Amino acid sequence: MKFFIDSADIEAITEFTKSGMVDGVTTNPSIIAKSGRDFKDVIKEICSITSGPVSAEVTATNAEGMIEEGLVLSKIAKNVAIKVPLTWAGLEACKALSDKKIMINVTLCFSATQALLAAKAGATFISPFIGRLDDIGEDGMDLIRDIKTIYDNYPMLKTEILAASVRNIEHVKKAALYGADIATLPPQVVSELANHPLTDKGLKAFLDDWNDSGQKIL
């Protein structure tokens, strides 16, 4: 499974890139607004750090506006993916932009039928929001499983499942088990993936034994 970093934090993206954990980046207007920087400047800098897809979200709500903004944002770098909402206007924009060979991330997906529409409109990625479904008492992972089943039923659908609104390690594990192609993760969740108390305990024991031996490698 590929990992996208859900952040506009340049330092965090750069750091995780060093360990090969960044296959792409997702952003949204809220994330970039918190950085206090110009939207297009941030997208351009992120695209210079990773060669993977970098999602840049439109802010227009009508199809014509989304298409116009998408064309502008797509010119920032070759690896920009235009992010549009799963509305009828968003689907229209998805079709128009994907016909121009522009990567499209259709976001705010909360049902399998929505995901089917996005795939038929030519979406590169579909972003089902796991955590937000959990918040209203549903199991967000059921949506991942349902979308995977539908897409597998129709091999002509090439849309990748991008698990979004990921809150914890359990979300990551289940998304991988249920066949999501990608998970987009906040930096904190990425950091937690490598942590386990038995790893820390085992490392301490090894180092204590090594120090007691008096040996050195260098």
Torsion, CA 177, CA 16, CA 134, CA 149, rounded to 10:
-30
Alpha-carbon Rg for the chain, nearest whole angstrom, is 20
18: Cα separation from own chain's centroid: 18
Collapsed DSSP state (helix, strand, coil) of residue 182: strand
Helices (H) and strands (E) in the chain, counts: 11, 8
Backbone angles phi, psi at 167, to 5 degrees: -110, -25
Active site residue 83: yes
DSSP 8-state assignment for residue 100: T
Tokens of 141: 């992972």
Catalytic residue among 2, 34, 40, 83: 83
Catalytic residues: 83
